Structure 1
């Protein structure tokens, strides 16, 4: 235990070890969406090409992210980023496809939610010191 009178008493206060709550929440979000994508693949054999590719990529990214998360691999932040970018592209595609046929059925809430999540998660994964320290392998 460091003494209060020691000049280096608070030297290690800023360093944070472990994953932290944000990373666990992001992994939970990726995992839940990966399970939903896998269930979609199992239940619906007649998906169109875009939905099939989206579901397969999402399930693959979720599995790889979970493995990389607990192994603390260096490429894990890029998987988180690719997960959110893939969701953003898919929501934009669905919005454009629906706007052509049914302009009143566009889900603006989902679109805004995915954009906000991308605006929060991508800079966090790119600039956070904790992410760099945790995923160093």
Structure 2
């Protein structure tokens, strides 16, 4: 029975991790067209780093977010000599966010989230049926 409850620890940790991933993707998409600020630095895309970690009372393996790191790829440079944000060469530096890649990440995270919720719903249903058998 303890192993049945560990399903909730594993899936719950995965849901939490995917929620954080969705938040990072949303932040990246919101800043996809952001130009460099007064400091000359543009927004850098962020990536979530996952790892296996002990979860719950039985130290069941689960998913944990160990870091949210910045992508070091250079930003997109666009020639806009009339822009107040242009550098000495007339280029404006935009974020390094790739909207297509972020949409793929969003779909992947959303599906992982939904799958883990379904796992928890199925486990709950099985536990309820087991209890009904004992009546």
The two structures have a TM-score, normalised by structure 2, of 0.35
Bigger Rg over Cα: 2
Structure with greater strand percent: 2
Q: TM-score, normalised by structure 1?
A: 0.34
Q: For CA contacts below 8 A with separation 6 or more, give which structure has more relative contact order.
A: 2
